[in-house]
């Protein structure tokens, strides 16, 4: 099976700068695409917020192309979009990113295989013993039934928990649409985590 995702960014917890959680402001120009705000909480099984934990994301641009992949989808790069961000959860366990709606991309796992739009998340911090990697999806994507990664999560509820919810209160007037996605570290409502990462 073709490895479906790129290597996670290698960041430390230090030196997080102001634009690290705003992927629309990391270059001199603005990236192309629909701006989105993605926010949620990092929680344990009891619903307790996990504060001060490092959350990193990486994603394709609006055309479905990664800036840092060797095997490339033949879609345009965006010189104003790297697709990598990081932040620390706040005292209530919230993270928040401003970014661009990623495009779906083909991944040659089988004929006409396309990945639904998604954002890769990496969690790293004192609340758990190893780096955890997972993926967030967007609501109502028609590619869900065709995605072997999502379909490998056999529990319906667990699969649903990988899909963010549109949240109008997170939408920023005249700027971006908002999506809410919580991450639960353990317990019966735990977020699915990729094996062997
Ligand atoms: Fe991906």
pLDDT digits 0-9 by tens, 76-92: 999 999 999 999 999 99
pLDDT band, very low/low/confident/very high, at 3 (cuts 50, 70, 90): very low
Q: Are strands 165-166 and 177-180 parallel, antiparallel or unpaired?
A: antiparallel
Which residue from 167, 39, 34 is spatially nearest to 101, judged by alpha carbons?
34
CATH topology of domain 35-184: Protocatechuate 3,4-Dioxygenase, subunit A (2.60.130)
Identify the residue whose tokens are 């495009």: 103
What the block records as the tokens of 97 is: 């990113």
In this predicted structure, what is the pLDDT of residue 1? 36
> With the C-alpha atoms ordered 57, 61, 67, 69, is the resulting torsion angle positive or negative?
positive
Among the listed residues 65, 73, 120, 161, the single catalytic one is: 120
Structure confidence by residue, pLDDT tens digits, 112-157: 999 999 999 999 988 777 899 999 999 999 999 999 999 999 999 9
Instruction: Name the residue ranges covered by the structural domains of the chain.
Output: 35-184
- pTM of this structure: 0.91
Active site residue 27: no
Query: How far, in Å, from the CA of 153 to the mean position of ligand 1?
Result: 16
d(C-alpha 75, C-alpha 38), whole Å: 24
More reliable by pLDDT, 181 or 74: 181
**Active-site entry in 35, 73, 86, 115:** 115
């Amino acid at each position: 099976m073709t490895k479906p995702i790129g290597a996670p960014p290698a960041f430390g917890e230090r030196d997080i700068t102001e634009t690290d959680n705003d992927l629309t402001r990391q270059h001199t120009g603005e990236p192309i695409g629909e701006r989105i705000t993605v926010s949620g909480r990092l929680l344990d099984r009891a619903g307790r917020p996990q504060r001060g934990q490092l959350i990193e994301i990486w994603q394709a641009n609006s055309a479905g192309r990664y800036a840092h992949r060797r095997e490339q989808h033949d879609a345009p790069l965006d010189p104003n979009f790297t697709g990598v961000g990081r932040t620390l959860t706040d005292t209530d366990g919230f993270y928040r990113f401003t970014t661009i709606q990623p495009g779906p991309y083909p991944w040659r796992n089988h004929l006409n295989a396309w990945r639904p739009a998604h954002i890769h998340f990496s969690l790293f911090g004192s609340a758990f013993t190893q780096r955890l990697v997972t993926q967030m999806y967007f609501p109502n994507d028609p590619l869900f039934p065709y995605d072997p990664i999502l379909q490998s999560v056999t529990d319906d509820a667990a699969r649903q928990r990988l899909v963010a919810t549109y949240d109008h209160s997170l939408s920023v007037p005249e700027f971006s649409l908002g999506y809410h996605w919580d991450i639960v570290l353990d317990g019966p409502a735990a977020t699915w985590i990729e094996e062997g990462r």
